[in-house]
Amino acid sequence: MITKKQASCLTKSLAGSALSLLSTMTWGQVNNGDFEQWQLGKPSNWTTIDSGISLTTEQNRVQSGLTAAAVSVLTTTQGNTDLTQSVSVEAGKTYTFSTWVYHTEGGVRARLVADGYHNYSDPQQLNQWQQLRHDYTATSNGQITVGLRFYDVSGFDGNEIVYVDNFQPSGASTTPPPDGGSCQDHALTFSLTTDRYGEETSWVIKNASNATVASGQNYGASQNYSEAVCLTAGSYTFTISDSYGDGICCSYGNGSYRLTGPSGTLASGSQFTSSASHSFTLGTDNGGGDGGGDTPTGYYSAAAGLSGYALKTALHNIIASHNNQGYSAIWSFIDQYERDRYFENNGTVLDRYSEKPTGTDSHEFTAVSDQCGTARTEGDCYNREHSFPKSWFGGKIEPMNSDIHHIFASDGYVNNRRSSFPFGEVGSSTYVSSNGSKVGNGSGIGYSGTVFEPIDAFKGDFARAYFYMATRYQDRIASWQSYSTNGDAVLNGSSDQVFESWVITMLKRWHQADPVDALERARNDGAYQFQGNRNPFVDHPEFVEQIW
């Protein structure tokens, strides 16, 4: 039997030839210079992140693109504060390396690294972007270190945030569009970082007729690629494959991929087995509009002009064929998309059962390292909460068991106290979590059994998750009523109304009182990237009244 290592050796000479041809496209390029790609809580391709700093994504203070890096400087030892990567340069060529920094307190300054240390930022220019730049002429072919080092100055209190963005020259494609000229339709960019077995990676884009319109293969090991794709309007499926069946992260290197277009990210990821697929649509919207976020144009066109249960059925047909990523992949989704960038804005896991939107959280969780585990008390660890309990649909049955649209990061102990009780409004509580979520008997809702009540700030999130479940699974949800007592209290055994009348009334009230916000829109965009379908009631809140 040939091992993966032996197979790599057999193709080494071929991969080396391909690499020498393709690597000419990446001279002097800083990879992920706009900090748009993150993996396991770190920006992809930045190979040195010293122990004296920590990084999280930033969406509110951005110099270019969608995200920046929030760099927390934690030490006065400057040798432990480097953020760098290796960049290939060609002898005799001059490269202008530059980046933008944003100071918040004035106790830290940044210094540009480009095969040495050059220029300092002004730490007294607070709450504004300033640029650092240096012209570097290479004396030989090879690799140099590029990035930033952070220095403490008078007033440093041991923890200060500096925002960084738009490191240039960033990896941009030099490959011409398919027609050999400028793209007159939809110009996309495919960015790929390979693991140590790049020859195993390939990708393909197919149109609605299942015809291949773009593809790539024969990549080198641990390399960065950027390729241009030009597509006409229409619906497409992007699929990335690994011939060995272990994806491109993380056992054999930190690979990742991203397909972007004018409206933002269409596909991204890193962890999969043999393949991962993402569906997207390009073109003029033919109806249905866009209620916010990065909804692909035309996504809801088949639902235009409909109402009532006919609208619900049309939405079901639009969202019903999502790409199930499996239950274990939800940890990666939480790491990337379930972060607090809205309240404390500190990058901890955003848990709707313990988050205090207007105060200091009693407990905070660090992504990945605080995964459950056993939760003996509140604050022990976080897990994956089926807001629509899995016992209601018969247990660990796919794709419901792994559908990210109703699964949220949650305090493991509070999740256990919620159990599989219906959501409701509590009269007399028997348990209250640190943020005010309650367990107790229902009151004033037409149901007096035991219910779980989340705080007001997240009631709309859960209501829209339930409207999603009623729509996504309308072809089977009528049969779930008999699976559990708590499920029977909520479900009415139909495929159109789906829920008991008391549930509909309450969910509609929650939906109106807690409208869609930036947090929910960003999560919906992330879910679309993750599994290829959207929650229509986040994109179009008006659909709730039009159906129910």
One digit per residue, the tens of pLDDT, for the chain of length 548 reads 333 333 333 333 333 333 333 333 357 789 888 898 887 678 888 988 999 999 998 888 888 778 899 999 998 888 889 999 999 888 888 888 999 999 999 999 999 999 998 888 989 888 888 888 888 888 888 889 999 999 998 889 999 999 999 898 875 333 333 333 456 678 888 989 888 888 889 998 887 666 777 888 878 888 888 888 888 777 778 889 988 888 888 778 888 888 887 656 677 777 788 888 776 767 543 333 344 445 777 899 999 889 999 999 999 999 998 999 999 999 999 998 999 888 888 889 999 999 999 889 998 999 898 999 788 999 999 999 999 999 999 999 999 999 999 999 999 999 999 999 999 999 999 999 999 999 999 999 999 999 999 999 999 999 999 999 999 999 999 999 999 999 999 999 999 999 999 999 999 999 999 988 889 999 999 999 999 999 999 999 999 999 99
Per-residue model confidence (pLDDT) at position 183? 65
Q: Which of 168, 201, 224 is the last residue of a domain?
A: 168
Within-domain flag for 226: yes
DSSP 393: G
Q: Are residues 279 and 350 in the same domain?
A: no
Displacement of CA 147 from its chain's centroid (Å): 25
Within-domain flag for 6: no
Residue 233 has a CB neighbour count (10 Å cut-off) of 12
Per-residue model confidence (pLDDT) at position 263? 59
Q: Are residues 510 and 408 in the same domain?
A: yes
Within-domain flag for 291: yes
Within-domain flag for 33: no
Q: Are residues 382 and 263 in the same domain?
A: no
Q: Which of 112, 140, 168 is the last residue of a domain?
A: 168
Within-domain flag for 218: yes
CB 136 within 8 A of CB 97: yes
Cα-based angle 118, 101, 368 (whole degrees, multiple of 5)? 110
Burial string for 326-349 (b: 16+ CB within 10 Å, else e) reads eeebbbbbbbbbbbbbbbbbebbb
Within-domain flag for 208: yes
Within-domain flag for 181: no
Strands of 138-233, DSSP E:
142-152, 160-168, 186-193, 201-207, 212-216, 224-231
Per-residue model confidence (pLDDT) at position 220? 85
The pTM for the full model equals 0.52
**250 closest CA partner among 197, 326, 189, 323:** 197
Q: Which of 262, 279, 299 is the last residue of a domain?
A: 299
Per-residue model confidence (pLDDT) at position 129? 86
Per-residue model confidence (pLDDT) at position 215? 83
C-alpha dist (Å) from residue 448 to 240, 492, 498: 50, 17, 20
Q: Are residues 91 and 229 in the same domain?
A: no
Give the number of domains in the chain. Answer: 3
Check whether the bond before 422 is cis (ω within 30° of 0): no
Per-residue model confidence (pLDDT) at position 207? 77
Per-residue model confidence (pLDDT) at position 535? 96
Per-residue model confidence (pLDDT) at position 8? 38
* Separation between Cα atoms, residue 248 and residue 255, nearest integer Å: 5
Q: Are residues 237 and 279 in the same domain?
A: yes
DSSP 327: G
Per-residue model confidence (pLDDT) at position 178? 37
* Separation between Cα atoms, residue 437 and residue 382, nearest integer Å: 16
Q: Are residues 409 and 453 in the same domain?
A: yes
- The CATH code of the domain that includes 144 is 2.60.120.260
Q: Are residues 243 and 293 in the same domain?
A: yes
Q: What residues make up the domain containing 128?
A: 38-168
Per-residue model confidence (pLDDT) at position 305? 86
Q: Are residues 381 and 504 in the same domain?
A: yes
Cα-based angle 517, 518, 519 (whole degrees, multiple of 5)? 90
State which amino acid sits at residue 303.
A
Q: Are residues 404 and 484 in the same domain?
A: yes
Q: Are residues 54 and 116 in the same domain?
A: yes
* Separation between Cα atoms, residue 427 and residue 418, nearest integer Å: 16
- For residue 254, the SS3 value is coil
Within-domain flag for 67: yes
Q: Are residues 295 and 346 in the same domain?
A: no
**Tokens representing residue 478 in the block:** 């009528």
- The CATH code of the domain that includes 244 is 2.60.40
Q: Are residues 408 and 500 in the same domain?
A: yes
What share of the chain in percent tops pLDDT 90? Answer: 49
Q: Tens digit of pLDDT for each residue in 344-380?
A: 888 899 999 999 998 899 989 998 989 997 889 999 9
